[in-house]
Every structure is written in C-alpha cells, then in structure tokens.
Structure 1
Amino acid sequence: MRLWLGLALLAPLALGAAAAPLVQALLGHDPFTPDLFSRYQPPSAAHPLGTDELGRDMLLRLLHGARVSLTVGVSVALGATTLGTAIGLLAAWRGGWVDAVLMRIADGMLSLPALPLLVVLAAVDTGRFGLPRGEAASDIARIVVILVLFGWVGVARLARAAALTQLSLDYVQAARVSGATEGRVLARHVLPNILGPVTVATALAVAGAILAESTLSFLGLGIQPPAPSWGNMLSNAQEMVFNAPMAAVWPGLMILIAVAGCTLVADGVRRRVP
C-alpha cells in the first residue's frame, strides 16, 4: 500500500517534469524571461497558478523546477548507490587492510558536519578552475558531484554489512568449491541478494538529494537564476510573502510531495523485500 501511495505521489511530478516543454508551448509563456507588466497576477486561464514578482508563470517554473530537482535527486541517488555499493562489496570481499582503510575513510566522512561542508564546497567559484558556472547544466553537474561525494558512505556501510552476511552463507562456499570465480560469486550470488536494502537506500537518497539541492539553492549556492528550482523559488518567495503568499506555498508543497513519495516508496520496498 505504501509503495503504491508513494508512486502515486511521485508519478504526477515526473509526468509534469517530462511535459514541461509541451505545457510551455500550450501556454505560450517563457518561464525564464521577466514580464514586469504581468507581476503578481492571480490564477487565470493564461496563468493557472498566477505569476511571480517578475511576471513569470508560476506553473511553468514549478514544472521546470521539477525537472531540475528530480534530475538532481535521481542522479545523486544512482551515483551514490553505484559508488557506495562498489566500495562496500570491495571491502567485504577483500577484508583485511582494504576493509579497514575503506571503512575508516567512511567513518571520517560521517564525522564531518555535512551541511556546513556542503555550503563551503558549493560556494567555491568553479570559474577560477576554468569550469562554467551560472548555466543550469553546469550547476546541476556541480551539485550532483558534491552530493555524490558525501552520499556514498551510508550505502557503502549498508552494502558491506549485507555482503558480509551473504559471503558467510553456505551457498557461497558451495559456489566457490564448485569452481566459480570470485567475480562470478559476487556478480551472480552476492550482489542480487543485497539489492533489497540497497534499493531502499537509493529511494531514501533521492529524497535526501532533493532536500540538499533545495537547501543549497535556497541559500543561493545551488541552481542559479533564471533557471528555476524549488529551492531558489522558495528563496525568491521571501520577498513577496505578503503580495503573493502562494509563491512560497507551491514550491514548498512540491518538495514535501517529492520527499514524502520517496520515503513511502522506500518503506514499501523495505516491507516487500525479505
């Protein structure tokens, strides 16, 4: 039930993000270009959710913001899960000093204050290193890389613990005795049996990445205007809370729905996986 409820919450967001260019063509507005003659307009047929302080259509900016936020969330989750699972499997398989070094690195990463460090890294001017900044694609890539660097640790520890359990079972020993290579044992026997908890961690990582991106964008260190994200839409809404209070409600509601949907999906998967 929770799995389907979570998917029901996430499906409209994903469909809306995918349909953003089509909706933009139907409405005939540019969500990136200011129109000062249309500021603070109430909901209407031309602007279903009204306009913001610069006259931009709120619905279109929410949909384009969904593209950014969901892209960041899914990309970070896949990157962190892939890296963390690989490191966890390596630590469990090799053991010894390899396991000790990798887990001490993970412990060190966990001991760092995540949010302040994310803020410091996000504030670094990548233009000094010859990398573009201020473009949506480069901002997304920068945020994804930063969040993946901090997001693999929990998955690695989870994958290591699950892999150690599987490697100690009789069927793995039987596969080794029968002549299976270590690579085949890991790929055909261990990895499929740890995908359950890893999948749960992936769904939770999507929610965490969306929240982290929204926080950085709210602070002005994530996705830069005019590209919309739910975080920078919330930041802009601070200045018009009395003129257009719904400008703060809509992006906040989108973040709530996305995070709740991912959490419900993770809980539903956890209940279904033995």
Structure 2
Amino acid sequence: MRLRIGLVLLALLALGALLAPLAEAWLGHDPFAPDLFKRHAEASLDHPLGTDELGRDILLRLLHGARISLAVGLATALAAALLGTAIGILAAWRGGALDAVLMRLADGMLALPALPVLVVLAAADTGRIGLPRGEPLSDILRIVVILTLFGWVGVARLARAATLSVLSRDFVRAARALGASESRVLLRHVVPNVAGPVAVATALAVAGAILAESTLSFLGLGIAPPAASWGNMLSNAQDLVFSAPWAAVWPGLAILLAVAACTLVADGLRR
C-alpha cells in the first residue's frame, strides 16, 4: 500500500513536470518573465496558485521547478547508487588491502561535515573549468556532481555488507564447488541479492538529493534564477511569509510531497 501511494505521488509530480509546457501554453503566461503589475496576486482562474514577488505565476514555476528538482534527485541517486554499488562490491569481492583503502576512504568522507563542505564546493567558481554559472544545465550538472561525491558512501558500505553476506552463504559456495566462474557468481548470485537493499537506499537518496538541492538553492548556491527550482522559490518567498504566504507554502508543500513519496517508496520496497 505504501509503495503504491509513493509511486502515485511521484507519478503525479513527474506528470506535472512533463506537462509544464502545455500548462504554460494553456494559461498564457511566461513563468520566467516578471510582471510587476501582478505582484502578490491571490489565486484566481488566471493564476490558479497566485503570483510571486515579481508577478510570475506560481503554478507554472512549481511545474518547471519540478523538472529541475526531480531531475537533480533522480540523477544524483542513480549516479551515487551505481558508483557506491561498484565500490562496495569491489571492496568485498577483492578484500585485503583494496577493501581497507576503499573503506577508509568512505570513513573519511563520512567524517567530513557534509553541509559546510557542500556549501564550499557549491560556491566554487566553476567557470574556470568551462562550466558557466547561471545556466540551468550547468547548474544541474554541478549540483549532481557535488552531491554524488558524498552520496556514494552510504551505498558503498551497504553494498559491501550485503556482498559479504551473500558470499558467505551456502548457495555461493555450492556454485563455486560446481565450477561456476567468478563472473557467473558475481552476476547471477551477488548482484541480484545486493540489488534489493541498494534499491531501498536509492529511493531514500532521491529524497535526500531533493532536500540538498533545495537547501543549496535556498542559500543561493544551487539553481540560479530566473530558472525555477523549489529551493530558490522558497528563498525568494522568505520575506513574504506574512504578506503573501502562498508564495512559500506551495514550494514547501511540493518538497514535502516529493520527499514523503520517496520515503514511502523506500519503505514499500523494504517491506
């Protein structure tokens, strides 16, 4: 039941993100162009969720923000899952010095204060390496790379523990005794049994990446305006909590729903 609810919520958010251009054409507004004559407009047929501090339609910006926030969450979670799973399985499979080096690297990454380091990395000038700031694609790529640098650690430790558990079981010993090759043992026995816990961790990682992107964008270090993300929408609305609370409520609710949906999916997969 929880899995279905989570998948339905994610499907609705993804559908809204995909239909953003159609909604823009239907309402006839440009979500990136200011209209100072319509600042802080309340909900109406013309603007179903009202307008923000620059007169931009909040509904359209929410839908376009869903594209960026969900893309960052999914891309980061998949990249961290692939990298972490590969490192975890390699560490458990080879063992010895390689295992010790990789796990000490993971321990070192866990010992770092994540949020301050993320802030420092996000504030770095990426123009020196050919990634201009302020463009949505380059901002997304920058955030995904930064979050993946920290996101793989938990998956790697989980994959290593699961791999060690699988390798100690009788069916793996029997397969090796019957002459199964190392690649066959890895692909037919280890990877399928590791995939379950990694899938749960990946679903949770999507929620964590969405929250991290929102935090960085709220601080002005993530997705730069006029591109819309839920984080920078909250940042722009922080001075309007009392005068125009809907400008802060809707992006906050979108983040809440996305994180709750990912958590429900992870719990459903675990069960």
State the TM bucket, normalised to the shorter chain.
over 0.9
Alignment of 1:15-94 (within 5 A): 15-94=15-94
Q: Deviations over 1:166-219 (max 9, x none)?
A: 011121122223332212211111100111111100000000000000000000
Aligned to 1:172: 172
Letter in 1 for 2:53: E
Aligned to 1:250: 250
> Following TM superposition, by how much is the alpha carbon of 1:42 offset from its aligned partner in structure 2, in angstroms?
1.3
Query: Aligned equivalents of 2:255 and 2:131: distance in 1?
Result: 29
> Following TM superposition, by how much is the alpha carbon of 1:11 offset from its aligned partner in structure 2, in angstroms?
2.0
Q: Secondary structure at the match of 1:73?
A: helix
Unaligned residue ranges in structure 2 (runs of 5+): none
Alignment of 1:1-274 (within 5 A): 1-271=1-271
The CA RMSD over aligned residues, in Å, is 0.9
Q: Deviations over 1:205-250 (max 9, x none)?
A: 0000000000000000000000010000000001222331110000
TM-score normalised according to structure 1 size: 0.97
Letter in 1 for 2:150: F
Q: Deviations over 1:37-63 (max 9, x none)?
A: 221111111111111111110000000
Deviates more, 1:114-123 or 1:16-25: 16-25
Query: Aligned equivalents of 1:214 and 1:263: distance in 2?
Result: 17
Q: Secondary structure at the match of 2:267?
A: helix
TM-score normalised according to structure 2 size: 0.98
Letter in 1 for 2:6: G
Unaligned residue ranges in structure 1 (runs of 5+): none
Query: How many residues in Structure 1 have an aligned counterpart in Structure 2?
Result: 271
Query: Aligned equivalents of 1:153 and 1:104: distance in 2?
Result: 11
> Following TM superposition, by how much is the alpha carbon of 1:131 offset from its aligned partner in structure 2, in angstroms?
1.8
Query: Aligned equivalents of 1:238 and 1:159: distance in 2?
Result: 40
> Following TM superposition, by how much is the alpha carbon of 1:30 offset from its aligned partner in structure 2, in angstroms?
0.8
Query: Aligned equivalents of 1:180 and 1:134: distance in 2?
Result: 53
Q: Deviations over 1:137-173 (max 9, x none)?
A: 1000000000001000000000000000101112112
Query: Aligned equivalents of 2:239 and 2:128: distance in 1?
Result: 32
> Following TM superposition, by how much is the alpha carbon of 1:4 offset from its aligned partner in structure 2, in angstroms?
1.4
